[in-house]
């Protein structure tokens, strides 16, 4: 997909204080959370947003840089550029040659990664705490001046094209449903184009195109820097001033209009997949706007309907009806329900036996959803959903020695200018009532807000039956 794990090292991925704090609450779902992520937030004169969060549980530090350029917001005639640039950022900078960034982090005992998402491209390192300045210097070096050469561009155009062929074009169910469904469900080009990019656009990219893209979107004023872990705040601020303060760049360009019109009729599409051996079905419903009461209600409806083997859809479609061995899905399959900024789908998918027709499966889906629409849920069900959501949320904060927390801090700084929002999430979910869940299910899980994508197997299925 759009994530490349570039190196691993010997950092122990131990449980942190966050996980320990979450455990007692599993037995007391109604209790208030006392856990608080420390947040220091400020902006450098060049516009770079900075978030510092100290956690001395382990002697490690996370350095994460998020640029507000994802594949959803790339220019119309430059599809795939956001992803291409993720690759270009490892091809060398003013003081680090090709691939030297990776070797520098490895030699320091760290790990690193980069990924392209709907609304951002990110880069991060997890290192021993004493190597903080190494990461800050290296990230600042490539923000200040990427080594954009024709050789690097040509090389990475080939790498990205091959990635598309391996992961999508020559892969059974390639891109299903995360890449496919938004293209069918949305009408706004920004939400509905091929996020991996058309190969002709990638092949047509010139050196000037890439240089312009870098100057526009990789400027400090279009980014947020997060430092999370074991560090002294005064020393970290001094290092950040030294390495990032002198970097200059333009103001951020205006974000495109990402709004979608209200969907008033069900959409249904069929995609033939020559490599697939069984039919597949995906459904997607447009989500409520981010940070609204209905948005948090959809987070709980996702837990009730789709997350875990106790969910209504797993029980109905897998355990009771036996349509498939599993059903997958959720909100934002390329991240979580907090790290995106525009329209989103709540979606689910399953690869099912050919003996079951799509309409039969959809009728079962409608029956499960109708149970939420016809009458309010009991408080015990809502409390169980809260426990599951809370457990998942706090578990995610500990990922990669605190990268999960850094990811949320960066997202809330980048999209809301308020990283401290991380400490208010649980309270927002606790405000959700059974009545609001019912209202949200009726409005957002209505059939006329749904897009269905059916995968029709091709030669591979026929060959398997011979």
Q: Answer for the pair 142, 91: CB distance below 8 angstroms, yes or no.
A: no
166-201 pLDDT tens trace: 988 899 999 999 999 999 999 999 999 999 888 888
Instruction: Indicate whether 414 pLDDT > 60.
Output: yes
pTM across the whole model: 0.90
- The end-to-end CA distance of the chain, in Å, is 33
Nearest in space to 412 (alpha carbons), one of 34, 53, 128 = 53
Q: Are 54 and 46 in contact (CB under 8 A)?
A: no
3-state SS, residue 6: strand
23 pLDDT tier (thresholds 50, 70, 90): very low
Other CB atoms within 10 A of residue 318 CB:
18
pLDDT in tens, 110-132: 999 999 999 999 999 999 999 99
**Token couple for 185:** 């469900």
Closest C-alpha to 117, from 149, 141, 82, 148 = 82
Nearest to 71 by CA among 92, 86, 49: 86
Identify the weakest region by mean pLDDT among 41-50, 84-93, 224-233: 84-93
């Amino acid at each position: 997909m759009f994530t490349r794990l570039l190196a691993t090292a010997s950092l122990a991925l131990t449980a942190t204080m966050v996980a320990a704090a979450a455990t007692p609450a599993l037995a007391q779902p109604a209790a208030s959370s006392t856990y608080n992520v420390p947040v220091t937030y400020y902006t450098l004169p060049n516009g770079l947003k900075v978030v510092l969060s100290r956690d001395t549980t382990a002697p490690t530090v996370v350095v994460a840089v998020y640029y507000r350029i994802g594949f959803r917001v790339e220019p119309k005639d430059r599809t795939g550029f956001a992803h291409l640039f993720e690759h270009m950022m490892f091809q060398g900078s003013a003081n680090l040659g090709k691939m030297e960034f990776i070797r520098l982090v490895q030699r320091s005992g760290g790990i690193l990664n980069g990924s392209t998402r709907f609304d951002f491209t990110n880069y991060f390192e997890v290192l021993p705490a004493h190597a903080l300045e190494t990461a800050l210097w290296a990230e600042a070096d490539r923000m200040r001046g990427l080594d954009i050469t024709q050789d690097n561009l040509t090389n990475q155009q080939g790498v990205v094209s091959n990635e598309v062929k391996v992961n999508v074009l020559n892969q059974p169910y390639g891109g299903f449903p995360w890449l496919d469904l938004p293209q069918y469900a949305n009408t706004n080009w920004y939400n509905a184009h091929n996020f991996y990019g058309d190969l002709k656009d990638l092949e047509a990219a010139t050196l000037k195109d890439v240089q312009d893209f870098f100057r526009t979107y990789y400027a400090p004023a279009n980014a947020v820097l997060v430092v999370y872990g074991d560090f002294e705040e005064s020393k970290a601020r001094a290092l950040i001033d030294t390495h990032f303060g002198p970097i200059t760049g333009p103001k951020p360009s205006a974000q495109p209009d990402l709004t979608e019109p209200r969907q008033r009729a069900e959409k249904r599409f069929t995609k033939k997949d020559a490599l697939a051996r069984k039919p597949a079905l995906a459904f997607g419903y447009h989500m409520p706007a981010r940070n609204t009461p209905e948005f948090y209600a959809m987070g709980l409806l996702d837990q009730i309907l789709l997350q875990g083997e106790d969910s209504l859809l797993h029980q109905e479609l897998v355990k009771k009806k036996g349509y498939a061995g599993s059903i997958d899905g959720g909100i934002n399959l390329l991240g979580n329900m907090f790290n995106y900024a525009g329209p989103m789908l709540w979606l689910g998918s399953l690869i099912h036996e050919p003996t079951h027709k799509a309409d039969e499966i959809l009728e079962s889906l409608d029956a499960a959803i109708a149970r939420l629409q016809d009458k309010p849920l009991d408080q015990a069900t809502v409390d169980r959903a809260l426990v599951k959501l809370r457990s998942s949320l706090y578990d995610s904060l500990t990922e990669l020695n605190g990268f999960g927390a850094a990811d949320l801090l960066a997202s809330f700084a980048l999209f809301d200018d308020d990283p401290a929002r991380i400490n208010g999430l649980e309270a927002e979910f606790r405000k959700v009532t059974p009545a609001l869940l019912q209202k949200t299910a009726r409005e957002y899980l209505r059939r006329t807000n749904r897009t269905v994508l059916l995968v029709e197997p091709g030669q591979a299925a026929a060959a398997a039956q011979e």
